[in-house]
Structure 1
């Protein structure tokens, strides 16, 4: 086999493969003989079909298979000998003018790029920190109490107030005409908790059982119902029932009902603090990791293999189709979604993946078994039976690979933060939890 390698443009390469025809023909004959022993054809007993008949029926398909296999093997061998890291599948075309007794092919493909990362000591990264304060614990206790609240019917002469659960009938009209979704009977919502538009809540607040009221409601321009967005409707609302909320007391009984091991108020608050600190740690890790990745991309210089971008676009498209299908969209798996929608995200993912791979390889930042175990233990700690969660992760190679990827990213983040100019910034618990990790 004679091999030549040619650089076309940036990451694109071409290998010319020459194969002897006699080796191809020999393999075709071997496969046809093997096929003749088992093939079934009308008029012949199994294993007794003449070779000429087998060759006439299956010769073309077998020849095609052999050519594919031989060219694939030759390409893999040539790429390996030339120490090329191939990105994606090669485009292979038969070449004219081959020497006698030979058949030649051109294989055009891309290679993975050389990744150059500038001095990370010049990179500036903002690293956030946050603490779990008493106010955050208080707020969580209030949420837990609300989740366990009960309701009792208010007296006839009592008005609806914030936190009350009201049952109403309503009908809305725009220019005197009803509209889809504008009417309901025995509809329940909690006053003052943002379940309804503000004008609706303001109208119901202060009403008593049996009262009716007409009021205008202006739908926001960005309202999810496009038919009514930006329009004003007149609503008639009638209050049928008002129930006052009763929140459980913060005591040992509440702690016990929540399954806290130390069934005391102090035990409950300690348990909440542990859970919030774990959440804060992961949120900070995610936020700071994102800042590191942005800094890395700014310091990296590389060409992107188009084959990798195309493959990533297809992965993102399939993910989007699966999401549409889950939402009940008809024929979601056939939805035509243009490449351009995913291209910026795909390019960033490919670029970041190549930069991370180079940094991990050159600095030995691979995940160790001890790191994997520690990370999984931490994830499992918030569950009732952590040991079951640990077994669940270690019992599946795909799940373990996902954890490994996270640990590797953490190793990269720690490595970069140790070298870069880091600006530490403390934020409140509320600020952190309001940000995207």
Structure 2
């Protein structure tokens, strides 16, 4: 720890370079450095350092300086640079947006003299919340909405029966398959009794085209570019697939009756209970969708009303984090390194979303600071329990969140953001906008949608520098 006198004697000058850029020069006189070195050497001597020819604890100062002076001075310079920088920031009321670039000045001269170059967080003057006009979406679950969900549930319980005719695109076909490359059979592709739903999204187009019109007993063959990453020597190569058709089946929708309800876990009450369960789930989903829509509208209103100058260093870091997240997704999906470049976006395309996330994060942080809004512990607990309720062992998930501060901080930030949104809604000019269930549940896509798992802003608490 550096003596306070050494820090109070330093000289600090600050220049504005461009926008939020700052160039801060810090100078500490040599006598303060020498004094700190002498003090530390004295403390070290009392630790009974062993030097040949001297009794422990009785080593003269000059001898201590000769043996340890260089190392101690370097330690003092390092400590002094860190602590003087933090003291200078506090003295000049500066909040850096990112780590500074530090360059020594006048290295040959005595004393400590360096220049720190960095960007600062912008000064935010928030527009009056009463001036924000926000439309609150209002919707309800209609019987027609429930009917449509029930119809989709029928499609999940299709009844299949064999037919003696050529396959159509709504059928499913049972086949044996073998794969060949340059005349040699490919190990791992051979399969027997595979059931192919021709209309399924995952069905390869070439396979679907080959099987439409096929009858039981037919043999088919088609070529395709091998899509899987393994084995690597086949990726991107043209392979031949031979098929033997065993069965063609068509589907029928099941009747809407008590048996249908039982297939979805309704033991008693039949369709009345199933419809009530479906409606309850839809109303819960609608409530969540309305809350998400309202949050987006609050965010949009705040961004429109508050023009925030953003540090370029923060924008760059946010783009880098976005690229790292996307790369992580691809790695977990098993995409090989040599294919990532073709899939990953140009970093410049992430800039608009990065700027949006940073701007709203700074605005949220300022609102929380000015109005002393903190994450409510009971709401954090409720949120954790809600998430945990979707798992087989809820208590294990609760313990998992509360066992690590960083993990729990994600939930605290999520809760804090919602508290800030609620606080704004209480003060803003709110109108109601009646919308249909479908409009709420299927909003128009955003130009630059956030990644899966991301919220509208960077974690609010992370925006203040340490």
TM-score (norm 1): 0.72
Change (3 A) 1:123 1:216: farther
Q: Do the aligned residues in 2 keep the contact of 1:166 with 1:242 (CA within 8 Å)?
A: yes
How big is the shift at 1:16? 3.0
Whole-Å Cα distance in 2 between the matches of residues 58 and 276 of structure 1?
74
Aligned residues: 419
Which consecutive unaligned segments of at least 5 residues does structure 1 have?
173-179, 218-225, 229-233
Q: Do the aligned residues in 2 keep the contact of 1:148 with 1:248 (CA within 8 Å)?
A: yes
Where is the strand percentage greater, Structure 1 or Structure 2? 1
**1:302 aligns to what SS in structure 2?**
coil
Show the counterpart of 1:328.
334
Q: Do the aligned residues in 2 keep the contact of 1:380 with 1:386 (CA within 8 Å)?
A: yes
How big is the shift at 1:71? 1.0
Q: Do the aligned residues in 2 keep the contact of 1:160 with 1:166 (CA within 8 Å)?
A: no
Whole-Å Cα distance in 1 between the matches of residues 396 and 420 of structure 2?
29
**Farther-moved stretch of structure 1 (51-60 vs 269-278):** 51-60
Show the counterpart of 2:282.
276
Show the counterpart of 1:368.
376
Show the counterpart of 1:210.
217
Change (3 A) 1:246 1:29: farther
Show the counterpart of 1:107.
116
Q: Do the aligned residues in 1 keep the contact of 2:177 with 2:241 (CA within 8 Å)?
A: no
Structure 1 residue 21 and structure 2 residue 30: aligned?
A: yes
Show the counterpart of 1:89.
99
Equivalent residue in structure 1 for 2:20, among 11, 34, 42: 11
Q: Do the aligned residues in 1 keep the contact of 2:136 with 2:431 (CA within 8 Å)?
A: yes
**Farther-moved stretch of structure 1 (189-198 vs 368-377):** 189-198
Paired residues for 1:276-315 under 5 Å:
276-315=282-321
Paired residues for 1:150-165 under 5 Å:
154=162, 157-160=164-167, 162-165=170-173
Change (3 A) 1:384 1:128: farther
Equivalent residue in structure 2 for 1:344, among 349, 352, 360: 352
Whole-Å Cα distance in 1 between the matches of residues 292 and 42 of structure 2?
60
Which consecutive unaligned segments of at least 5 residues does structure 2 have?
1-8, 181-185, 225-234, 450-466
**What whole-Å deviation, never above 9, does each CA across 1:367-412 have from its counterpart, x for those lacking one?**
3223323433444455555555444444442332222222222233
Show the counterpart of 1:72.
82
RMSD (Å) for aligned C-alpha atoms = 5.1
Q: Do the aligned residues in 1 keep the contact of 2:254 with 2:260 (CA within 8 Å)?
A: yes
Whole-Å Cα distance in 2 between the matches of residues 83 and 282 of structure 1?
42
Q: Do the aligned residues in 2 keep the contact of 1:13 with 1:108 (CA within 8 Å)?
A: yes
TM-score (norm 2): 0.68
Whole-Å Cα distance in 2 between the matches of residues 150 and 65 of structure 1?
78
Paired residues for 1:414-433 under 5 Å:
414-417=422-425, 418-420=427-429, 422=431, 424-429=433-438, 432-433=441-442
